[in-house]
């Protein structure tokens, strides 16, 4: 409590932004899947956890791997896992035209499956990442910043920027946008729905995989790490307005900042609760999330 | 019904009766969610909050204040129902937004249970919860508490079964199918949705109370988000919209892991796989599956009975 | 003003405006609906007819203006409150409860007239049983009235399209509303079915329900309306009896000479 010094404030903002980037990346996955299929993908956190585990495993095998490669490994493995889920289970469920609640429950089943598979493969102890970043603080004209948080922010922004470019300027990206708007119309225009869905899951998985490496390097990798973080990503996506890409990014950053600042002003025991209270409050004012702010007037 | 009454005398194994009690308790919470999700179409992933409030209320009333069990049971339901009134403003949310808000509420309740040691015992747990007693008779053995839990479950079932085909039942069904059309027919959508929330919370509170006196020890980890998800799985696996399905789902979700105990570490792995596989059966869940199976068996039986007569006629 | 044979005003819409972002969907429209009349509301596509209907039903709130129903100012009332006060409607794109039977769909229309709640149902109180009997009897009578008595137990989503249109009307009139808003009740119907619907609308009016009718089938509108208001680009273009409207040069211009009107659309 009490007044914060400027450097403390900056530390908090940077910490909040960095963890916010992680949430944004997970929230993006939720939002993209929500847009394309209308399902809440409860296994999104587990996709992230598996990416984190695979990245860590690659470091065990080749300790000299540079950070970008580790991130790439995490993204690739999470992407593949998410596509496998889509092709093996969700697509079949959609083809059988089962109710949406069944698909959502299947994603819970998927999440249980992943958590327990990870516990069998990697054990139940938290696993520490090797040092991936420089340990001496960067100095930006008197403002000191941890290299780890700095690079997480940079990479988070770069990945999200790349995603935006992909969605806006490539044929596949545009087709994904079209499918998200209207399945039937997109199909009439010649979009291959099955392929687009697979792409959607691949990209959502890659976002989660990047988040997994970042989160793992900040704390540690752990078979249950996807559970609470996945929920926070879902909350962030909802906060932004489910199904909106920009909303998900904003929601994630905002959630990270809220969470970080609430630990300063409130007992850390209720850290997770503050975000939830704010979330409920925001939803009461804007029943469809932050995107409602600029869509409401129409 | 008769089978449920006779069961403890046929299968007097204490542990089996305890598992059956837990199934009965879970099915009460699941039936509540069935009314909320299956009838009124509202997705809650926070029922564990009301279950937890009921459990701790009942534990506190009996252990700390010496309130008799039947009153504590009702008190638990009422406490959960009152807590659910806090949720009334969010019933105007729909779909995933509603789900997230209920999730948020349950996380807050969980944190409260975990951190307010003076009231709940915090992470150490709440110990020394007395056995349930009814009219001065303490339910000491597994058999009598089995009757209590199954009895309350049966009451909840018969109460909820009345909703279908009633004015109230029609109205909440209408809200689920088309809220705009329901409004245009003069239905107060938000009011009725809130009523469903309160009803589901009340029975979740009852279930929590029964649970507290069945296991007689409460820990915050019994009331995490996973418990909410478990309750949801029961409803979906059993068949959304079917009361009997909620009970069937409770039996599977509570009973199956007990059966799978033998395979140790792989238990939950197999459970997850079974859950995914069950979803492939489509709309009706296990309830519809059982009905189809019943019809097939019936048809088969009829064929077996009718065949000899048919062939006899053809023979001469 | 013509059509003076009808009773006093039941619904008064005064200077009602509704904006969607920059678009003026309904622009300062006045409408006076007399008790016991059928009031036709016509106009080219996008004229604001359905929006006006939704404003009267309470689906949208007015941006400015005033709505009076009988003696009450209903400008700020919710949809459900208006429905309970006696304003019922049908939907252009049919909003039936597909999983329910035809009879149950109609019974929903009586919700506001009955009172049994959760506890009545659970305890099966005399009130509950009495009400249920009343609901069934009245609903059957209305199904008979619209010509669907034989399909009472059929699931709504299994009905033929024309029957679904009739079922929606049955649901809307079962509570004997003072005002019935019909949003294109004859859309997609063939000539015989449309004739049946116009006949039905006349019978509904004769039973004491005032009707506001939005419809593209001109023969239906001209046959059953006592008065007609024409909307164009969200504004009131003309008002009068069917005969007057048919001869009004401004109306003919709006329907036939649409090309000349396009620049006004930009305004």
Tens digits of per-residue pLDDT, C239-265?
999 999 988 888 888 776 554 444 444
Q: B298 and B216 in one domain?
A: no
pLDDT confidence of residue A293: 66
Least confident range from A47-51, A141-145, C101-105: namely A141-145
- Binary contact (C122, B178; C-beta < 8 A): no
- Model confidence band, residue A292 (pLDDT cutoffs 50, 70, 90): low
For residue B81, give both structure tokens.
């129902």
Shortest CA distance from A290: residue in chain B: B97
Min Cα separation C177/chain B (Å): 10
Q: B61 and B20 in one domain?
A: yes
Q: B276 and B287 in one domain?
A: no
Check pLDDT > 50 for residue C3. Answer: no
Contact partners, residue C195, CB within 8 Å, separation at least 6: none
Scanning B220-259 for CB atoms below 8 A from C yields none
Show the domain range for B311: 283-316
Backbone CA torsion sign across B208, B213, B215, B218: positive
- Binary contact (B104, A116; C-beta < 8 A): no
Choose the closest CB to C104 out of B162, B170, B183.
Answer: B170
Min Cα separation A144/chain C (Å): 46
- CATH number of the domain at A62, please: 1.10.3470
Q: Which residues of B touch A289 (CB under 8 A)?
A: 97
For residue B214, give both structure tokens.
């069945």
Q: B169 and B60 in one domain?
A: yes
Residues C115-171 pLDDT 10s? 888 888 888 888 888 999 999 999 999 999 999 999 999 999 999 999 999 999 999
Shortest CA distance from B156: residue in chain C: C122
Shortest CA distance from C21: residue in chain A: A298
Residue C238 phi, psi dihedral angles, 5° rounding: -160, 165
Shortest CA distance from C78: residue in chain B: B183
pLDDT confidence of residue B28: 97
Show the domain range for A236: 6-291
Tell me the Cα Rg of chain C.
19
Give the pairing type, strands C38-42 and C23-34: unpaired
Q: Is residue B249 part of a domain?
A: yes
pLDDT confidence of residue A295: 55
pLDDT confidence of residue C135: 94
pLDDT confidence of residue B282: 60
Write down how long chain C is: 267
SS3 percent helix, strand, coil of chain C, rounded to 5, is 45, 25, 30
- CATH number of the domain at B95, please: 1.10.3470
Shortest CA distance from A294: residue in chain C: C21
- Model confidence band, residue A238 (pLDDT cutoffs 50, 70, 90): confident
CA–CA dist C48, C42 (Å, integer):
9
HEC secondary structure over B103-150? HHHHHHHHHHHHHCHHHHCHHHCECCCCCCEECCEECCCHHHHHHHHH
Q: Which residues of A touch C24 (CB under 8 A)?
A: none
Q: Is residue B53 part of a domain?
A: yes
- Binary contact (B43, A117; C-beta < 8 A): no
- The number of domains in chain B is 2
Q: Is residue A296 part of a domain?
A: no
CA–CA dist B146, B152 (Å, integer):
10
Least confident range from A41-55, B279-293, C158-172, C177-191: namely B279-293
- Binary contact (B100, A273; C-beta < 8 A): no
Which whole number is the average pLDDT over B289-307? 79
Least confident range from A3-7, A205-209, C258-262: namely C258-262
Which whole number is the average pLDDT over B46-65? 95
Give this complex's ipTM. Answer: 0.88
- The b-or-e profile of A143-178 (16+ CB within 10 A means b, else e) is eebbebbbbbbebbeebbeebeeebeeeeebebbbb
- Binary contact (B237, A277; C-beta < 8 A): no
Chosen for mutation from B97, B241, B257 (greatest number of chain A CBs closer than 10 Å) is B97
Q: B72 and B178 in one domain?
A: yes
Q: Is residue B50 part of a domain?
A: yes
> Burial, A287: exposed, middle or buried (Cβ in 10 Å; 0-12, 13-18, 19+)?
middle
Q: B133 and B27 in one domain?
A: yes
Residues C190-217 pLDDT 10s? 999 999 999 999 999 999 999 999 998 8
Contact partners, residue B15, CB within 8 Å, separation at least 6: B142
Check pLDDT > 50 for residue C1. Answer: no
Residues of C with CB under 8 A from a CB of B: 57, 59, 78-80, 83-84, 88-89, 91, 95-100, 104, 107-109, 111-112, 114, 116-118, 120-122, 124, 128, 131-132, 135, 171-172, 175
- Binary contact (B167, C124; C-beta < 8 A): no
pLDDT confidence of residue B201: 97
**B contact chains, 3+ CB pairs < 8 A:** A, C
Q: Is residue B3 part of a domain?
A: no
- The b-or-e profile of B42-55 (16+ CB within 10 A means b, else e) is bbbbbbbbbbbbbb
Q: Is residue A49 part of a domain?
A: yes
Residues B13-50 pLDDT 10s? 888 899 999 999 999 999 999 999 999 999 999 999 99
Domain C1-86+178-267 CATH superfamily: P-loop containing nucleotide triphosphate hydrolases (3.40.50.300)
Q: B202 and B233 in one domain?
A: yes
Identify the CA nearest to C143 among candidates C111, C182, C172: C172
Shortest CA distance from C24: residue in chain A: A298
Residue A164 phi, psi dihedral angles, 5° rounding: -60, -45
- Binary contact (C96, B182; C-beta < 8 A): no
- Binary contact (C78, B183; C-beta < 8 A): yes
> Burial, A285: exposed, middle or buried (Cβ in 10 Å; 0-12, 13-18, 19+)?
exposed
- The number of domains in chain A is 1
């Amino acid at each position: 409590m009490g007044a914060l010094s400027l450097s403390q404030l900056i530390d908090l903002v940077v910490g909040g932004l960095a963890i916010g980037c992680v949430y944004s990346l997970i929230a993006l996955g939720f939002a993209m899947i929500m847009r394309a299929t209308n399902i809440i993908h409860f296994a999104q956190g587990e996709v992230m956890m598996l990416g984190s585990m695979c990245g860590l495993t690659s470091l065990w095998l080749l300790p000299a791997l540079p950070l970008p490669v580790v991130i790439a490994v995490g993204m690739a493995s999470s992407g593949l896992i998410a596509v496998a889920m889509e092709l093996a289970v969700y697509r079949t469920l959609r083809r059988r035209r089962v109710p949406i609640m069944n698909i959502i429950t299947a994603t819970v089943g998927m999440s249980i499956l992943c958590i327990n598979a990870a516990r069998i493969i990697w054990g139940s102890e938290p696993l520490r990442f090797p040092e991936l970043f420089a340990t001496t603080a960067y100095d930006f004209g008197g403002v000191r910043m941890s290299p780890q948080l700095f690079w997480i922010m940079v990479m988070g922004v770069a990945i999200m920027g790349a995603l935006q470019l992909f969605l806006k300027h490539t044929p596949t990206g545009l087709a994904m946008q079209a499918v998200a708007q209207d399945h039937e119309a997109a199909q009439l225009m010649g979009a291959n729905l099955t392929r687009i869905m697979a792409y959607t899951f691949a990209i959502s998985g890659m976002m989660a995989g990047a988040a997994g490496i970042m989160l793992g390097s900040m704390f540690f990798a752990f078979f249950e790490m996807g559970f609470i973080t996945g929920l926070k990503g879902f909350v962030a996506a909802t906060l932004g307005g489910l199904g909106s890409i920009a909303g998900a990014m904003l929601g994630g950053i905002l959630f990270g900042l809220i969470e970080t600042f609430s630990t300063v002003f409130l007992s850390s025991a209720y850290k997770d609760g503050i975000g939830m209270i704010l979330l409920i409050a925001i939803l009461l004012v804007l029943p469809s999330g932050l995107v409602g702010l600029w869509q409401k007037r129409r | 019904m008769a089978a449920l009454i006779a069961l403890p005398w046929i299968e007097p194994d204490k542990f089996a009766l305890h598992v059956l009690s837990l199934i009965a308790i879970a099915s009460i919470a699941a039936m509540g969610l069935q009314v909320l999700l299956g009838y009124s179409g509202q997705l809650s992933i926070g029922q564990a909050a009301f279950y937890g409030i009921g459990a701790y209320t009942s534990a506190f009333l009996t252990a700390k204040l010496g309130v008799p069990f039947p009153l504590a049971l009702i008190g638990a339901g009422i406490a959960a129902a009152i807590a659910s009134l806090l949720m009334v403003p969010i019933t105007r949310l729909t779909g995933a937004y509603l789900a997230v808000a209920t999730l948020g509420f349950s996380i807050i309740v969980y944190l409260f249970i975990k951190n307010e040691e003076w009231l709940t015992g915090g992470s150490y747990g709440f110990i020394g919860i007395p056995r349930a007693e009814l009219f001065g008779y303490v339910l000491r053995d597994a058999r009598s508490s089995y009757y209590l839990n199954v009895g309350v479950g049966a009451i909840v079932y018969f109460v909820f079964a009345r909703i279908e085909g009633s004015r109230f039942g029609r109205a909440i069904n209408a809200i689920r199918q088309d809220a705009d059309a329901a409004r245009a027919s003069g239905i107060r959508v938000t009011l009725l949705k809130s009523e469903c929330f309160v009803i589901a919370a009340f029975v979740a509170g009852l279930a929590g109370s029964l649970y507290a006196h069945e296991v007689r020890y409460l820990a915050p980890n019994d009331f995490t988000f996973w418990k909410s998800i478990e309750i949801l799985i029961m409803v979906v696996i059993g068949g959304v919209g079917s009361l009997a399905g909620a009970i069937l789902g409770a039996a599977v979700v509570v009973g199956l892991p007990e059966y799978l105990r033998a395979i140790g570490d792989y238990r939950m792995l197999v459970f997850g796989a079974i859950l995914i596989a069950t979803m492939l059966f489509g709309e009706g869940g296990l309830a519809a599956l059982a009905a189809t199976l019943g019809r097939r068996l019936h048809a088969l039986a009829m064929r077996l009975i009718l065949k000899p007569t048919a062939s006899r006629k053809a023979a001469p | 003003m013509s059509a003076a044979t009808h009773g006093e005003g039941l619904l008064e819409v005064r200077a009602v405006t509704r904006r969607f972002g920059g678009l003026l969907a309904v622009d300062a429209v006045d409408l006076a609906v007399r008790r016991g009349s059928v009031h036709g509301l016509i106009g080219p596509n996008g004229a604001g007819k359905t929006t006006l209907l939704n404003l009267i039903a309470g689906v949208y709130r007015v941006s400015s203006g005033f709505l009076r129903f009988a003696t009450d100012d209903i400008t700020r009332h919710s949809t459900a409150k208006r429905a309970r006060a006696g304003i019922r409607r049908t939907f252009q794109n049919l909003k039936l409860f597909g999983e329910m039977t035809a009879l149950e769909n109609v019974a929903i229309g009586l919700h506001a007239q009955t009172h049994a709640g959760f506890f009545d149902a659970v305890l099966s109180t005399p009130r509950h049983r009495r009400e249920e009997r009343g609901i069934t009897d009245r609903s059957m009578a209305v199904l008979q009235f619209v010509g669907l008595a034989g399909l009472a137990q059929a699931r709504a989503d299994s009905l033929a399209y024309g029957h679904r249109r009739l079922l929606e009307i049955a649901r809307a009139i079962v509570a004997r509303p003072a005002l019935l808003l019909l949003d294109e009740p004859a859309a997609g119907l063939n000539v015989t079915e449309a004739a049946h619907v116009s006949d039905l609308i006349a019978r509904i009016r004769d039973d004491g329900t005032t009707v506001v009718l939005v419809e593209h089938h001109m023969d239906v509108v001209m046959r059953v309306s006592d008065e007609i208001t024409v909307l164009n680009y969200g504004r009131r273009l003309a008002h009068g009896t069917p005969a007057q409207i048919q001869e009004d040069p401004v109306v003919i211009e709006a329907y036939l000479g649409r090309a000349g009107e396009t620049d006004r659309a930009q305004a």
